[in-house]
Homo-oligomer: A and B are copies of this chain.
Amino acid sequence: MAETARGTESRYGNRPTMKDVAARAGVGLKTVSRVVNGESGVTPDTERRVQEAIEALGFRRNDSARVLRKGRTASIGLVLEDLADPFYGPLSRAVEEVARAHGALLINGSSAEDPDREQELALALCARRVDGLVVIPAGDDHRYLEPEIKAGVATVFVDRPAGRIEADTVLSDNFGGARDGVAHLIEHGHRRIGFIGDQPRIHTAAERLRGYRAAMEDAGLTVDEAWVSLGTTDAGRVRTAAEAMLSGPEPVTAIFAGNNRVTVTVVRVLAGLSGPVALVGFDDFELADLLQPGVTVIAQDAAALGRTAAERLFRRLDGGQDVAPERIELATRLIARGSGEIGPAR
């Protein structure tokens, strides 16, 4: 009825652009841009007219176009193993907080521990032109990221080191933590100690196993290979492994569990047993203190890992493109709660 000549004023699925706003406010395109971005040099009266048009049309700036023009997306990517794993929640959250403090958005995805999926995800994030990337590696060859890093994508690896490329890395002291945990069991009189861990191709698993062996060796103990079990961390596999090393003529009297999932399964197995078996687990978990007995753990600080990595990333973005890659290792902490202090049955 009124002026229909104006064009596509917000047809369904057809969002208004600055051009529409400009037309409606009777100003130039660039003036709208100035108002939207809070730049100076616009008369209060003009600004008001533009604001009204924005309001009326429900305009929102298209950041894709903006990114295209400006080159930076103000977003970073996070590739982790599984968001549903309680270890990664706090880590992810910490990264997000740092990103937020730098005005960036976090895009994340789960690799499900699959190297191909990790690569697919990381490259998809690069295609969105994230400014930086935090990666918890699933694979062990990251040369596919080389062109991206060279092109300026700040990249930091967390929890596990990058494979076959130089890059910033933030790790926990997996070796030292495991060694301390096993030493703790040895101190309490154990000689036959089992180790149940994740697949050996995973760096953390390998390091923790190394720590186990080192502690045993330091104490002059020989490891019976029947005490060592590596593989997936699903409950069935872990249960079988635990039951195997707890039975037989020379059963282990203590178990070192290689990560939180393993620990929980082992707790369940031990709960069905009569005799006392000692347990120390890598990774702390909620309620560990409320179990009977409380579960002694090697705690790593997931939030600190995330925070450290993200801060490193933004330091690189804020100028320091050419600093040499660094490897940062965070200490672990033994939290004694009882399960590690059980002496061996005689």
Closest residue on chain B to residue A268 by CB atoms? B290
Give Cα A73–Cα B15 distance, bound, in whole angstroms. Answer: 14
Against B, the Cβ 8 Å flags (1 = close, 0 = not) of A70-92 are 00010100000011111011101
Contact B264 A128, beta carbon cutoff 8 Å: no
Give Cα A96–Cα B75 distance, bound, in whole angstroms. Answer: 18
Give Cα A167–Cα B238 distance, bound, in whole angstroms. Answer: 45
Closest residue on chain B to residue A55 by CB atoms? B147
Contact B63 A65, beta carbon cutoff 8 Å: no
- What copy number does this chain have within its complex? 2
Main secondary structure of the interface of A (DSSP, over half): mixed
Give Cα A47–Cα B216 distance, bound, in whole angstroms. Answer: 58
In the assembled complex, the CB of A102 is this many whole angstroms from the nearest CB of chain B, namely 14
Known contacts A96-B110, A128-B63, A10 near B151 by CB under 8 Å: yes
Which residues of B lie under 8 Å from residue A13 when comparing CB positions? 151-152, 321
Which residues of B lie under 8 Å from residue A10 when comparing CB positions? 150-151
Contact B83 A92, beta carbon cutoff 8 Å: yes
Contact A86 B86, beta carbon cutoff 8 Å: yes
Against B, the Cβ 8 Å flags (1 = close, 0 = not) of A126-137 are 111100000000
A→B interface (CB under 8 Å): 10, 12-15, 58, 60-65, 67-68, 73, 75, 82-86, 88-90, 92-93, 96, 100, 105-110, 123-129, 146-148, 150-152, 264, 267-268, 271, 285-287, 290-292, 303, 321
Q: List 13 A-B contacts (CB under 8 A).
A: A10-B151, A13-B321, A58-B150, A64-B73, A64-B129, A75-B128, A82-B93, A83-B89, A83-B96, A84-B90, A106-B108, A264-B286, A286-B286
A-B contact sample (7 more), CB < 8 A, given A12-B151, A63-B129, A68-B68: A14-B151, A75-B107, A75-B128, A100-B109, A105-B109, A106-B109, A292-B292
